[in-house]
Chain A
Amino acid sequence: MGGGVAYENDLNFKATELRLGLPGTGCTDEEQAVSGAKSNKRPLLETREERGAKGKSDPQHDDQETDPAPKAQIVGWPPIRSYRKNSLQPKKAEAEAAAGMYVKVSMDGAPYLRKIDLKVYKGYPELLKALENMFKLTIGDYSEREGYKGSEYAPTYEDKDGDWMLVGDVPWDMFLTSCKKLRIMKGSEARGLGCGV
């Protein structure tokens, strides 16, 4: 189309090389210098990290690290009216709402398990309160650095990969989709999970 642009002046084989993974990932310094910072991925990341820091729940920015195709939801993308978005999902949403999301809750040392419906809780504080009530214990306060301080219990959950995770690290919506069951760990095992993990 006429007119050279900075990054096209070199025979930039790297740019035309077929690779798996998105452009911008695995970028060398040389490429960056030539292309004048092909930084289209960065605004996306920056924005979502900024948003994460501000505490908005929409972007599940963890996905960016684990999943090369950013299927995580960006605010306002795809650009369709909320009316339309909502009208396409009502059946699904209704069905899910009706069905509830029951997961087993076990507590170390308890004779039997319980079940709770995660859908009735709006967020972590409510869930933890409910667990405290159900098992008559205190769970303590969550901090990213130290897990649950001030109690000998730590709430954990088994995720889709089968790993035991500390409750509270990921955004609530992400937790809802990945939690398979809950376990309230007690004593030394709990403390092990809380520190330096």
Chain B
Amino acid sequence: MNYFPDEVLEHIFDFVTSQRDRNSVSQVCKPWYKIESSSRQKVFVGNCYAISPERVIERFPGLKSITLKGKPHFADFNLVPHDWGGFVHPWIDAFARNNMGLEELKLKRMVISDDSLELISRSFANFKSLVLVSCEGFSTDGLAAIASNCSFLRELDLQENDVEDHRGHWLSCFPDTCTSLVSLNFACLKGDVNLAALVRLVARSPNLRSLRLNHAVPLDILQKILMRAPHLVDLGVGSYVHDPDSETYNKLVTALRKCKSVKSLSGFLEAAPQCLPAFHLICPNLTSLNLSYAPGIHGTELRKLIRHCRKLQRLWILDCIGDEGLEVVAATCKDLQEIRVFPSDPFVGNAAVTEVGLVALSSGCPKLHSILYFCQQMTNAALITVAKNSPNFTRFRLCILDPTKPDAVTNQPLDEGFGAIVQSCKGLRRLSMSGLLTDQVFLYIGMYAEQLEMISIAFAGDTDKGMQYLLNGCKKLRKLEIRDCPFGNAALLMDVGKYETMRSLWMSSCNVTLGGCKSLAKKMPMLNVEIINETDQMDISADDEQKVEKMFLYRTLAGRRKDAPEFVWTL
């Protein structure tokens, strides 16, 4: 291939889009490495501490789009202290200083300040897309900077962030000349927005296809918006409380009739179920429905709505749908691929769905391959049935609200049930388990889960063997997170080389000791072994026999991080 000019190779490589494939291409030979690296535009960094921004810039000078992930996954559940890290500023700073032509930035579980947002808005003239998922550290002032200065902004997508809300003026900061918006999602903002500015913004955005409103946008504004944006494909309704006989409601129905393109619906943050019939008009076209923030929608109104959604591929719902409601889903949504059933009352811990709903879904939905299911109870028999019905699962996450609950009928551990799942679902990439589980389930996983990349374990296992089966068996394992399991140093140190083939390992409330972690760190210099010590009871010269409360280790080319707070030690 060395008689092809570089431009030809580059053109060919343009067709190779997945990062994994491009990584493979770059390893073929030096010339290919050079060409691929200089032409790569999109990079995904699964752990922002695994590599330094300078190194990324050096290798990929043409970088336009970057995705960065920060905190460990268990940070979502309050297991990681607030100031642990995940600060994006060094990256923004490096990109700005090196005059990178950054156009797209996607962050997950990172800390981004208003200053960083301001810097982005001023440093990258072609900046087009900002997607923030589960991030924090910023306020609506930062959003105002983005709105004001990014003249070609196409996408501002805020998903489940913790944003300090300074009430509403940020929307007015989009200049009249900004007409490029394609996607705007501010559903997670808690404060008011300037409604008139919002309507005007929609009116001057002919390319707008995705709009998700927050709770401060009432029905009459929604109706005005829909009249001006009939080509919307994705709609997140804000506040939906209204008297169904009113003129506004009728106007809404008229507007919805014109919205023939809506395929994805979400929101209903405050909802009066009796107003739902207006949406029956668009249900037949829906492929994605997210009612997981709408506790007000349940019972017969919810089932009526679902019965209209024959083309649904993705459904996120609360467990107040009940087993009965899930049976309606199974009967109606034959194209369903992904479902998530969230608990509607996590504090009380009484989920309204059981193994019955799960079995119904697996029987009725042949294309179902991804599930997240919070339930009251489970049985081995149900899991075995599900495994038989649905060998195509790629993601299987089951959460029983009582984390060590056994089979609800036989009182046995759920080892056999999960064993059946991993044996049957040969393409399984992600697994979360709960319920009473012994070492046996890990034996099964190690034996059968050949494609498994990520697994989350809580309150499971009996001895170190459990974790050992897992590490031994799952060759493609990338992320392992464990909490409250009796795994100790023998398991941790069994195969230290394994951790270099993985992105990260989290262990909290297990039996690993400080000595074990120190030993691991010593053997593996390419890993950062971080101990999170929140209670001041441990100090670095302490007894090596002391158990470590929280450990997070990850492979890295960047050495120990410089921004670790006091309570995080890198061994």
Contact = CB atoms under 8 A, between A and B. Distances in A.
Majority-rule SS of A interface residues: loop
A40 B438 contact: yes
Contacts of B401: 78
Contacts of A69: 402
Nearest to B510: A43
A24 B444 CA distance: 23
A19 B405 CA distance: 14
Given A40-B460, A43-B485, A78 B162 contact: no
Contacts, number: 121
B403 interface: yes
A87 B404 CA distance: 27
B343 A47 contact: no
A42 B511 CA distance: 12
Interface residues on B, range: 35 or more
B458 interface: yes
A80 B344 contact: no
B419 A1 contact: yes
Interface string B535-551: 10100000000000000
A24 B374 CA distance: 24
B440 A5 contact: yes
Contacts of B393: none
Nearest to A73: B347
Interface of B: 74, 76-79, 134, 160-162, 188, 269, 292-293, 295, 342-349, 374, 399, 401-406, 410-413, 416, 419-420, 423, 432, 436-440, 443-444, 456, 458-463, 483-486, 509, 535, 537
28 contacts: A19-B411, A22-B405, A22-B406, A23-B406, A23-B411, A23-B436, A36-B462, A38-B462, A40-B438, A40-B459, A40-B460, A43-B459, A44-B404, A71-B402, A75-B78, A76-B74, A76-B79, A77-B77, A77-B403, A78-B374, A78-B399, A78-B401, A79-B76, A81-B134, A83-B188, A88-B344, A88-B345, A89-B347
Given A5-B439, A81-B134, 13 more contacts: A7-B438, A22-B406, A36-B463, A38-B438, A42-B486, A43-B509, A54-B537, A76-B78, A78-B343, A78-B349, A80-B374, A82-B76, A85-B346
Interface of A: 1, 3, 5, 7, 15-16, 18-19, 22-24, 35-44, 47, 54, 69-71, 73-85, 87-89
List the 3 closest A-B pairs by CB distance, nearest first: A76-B77, A83-B160, A76-B79
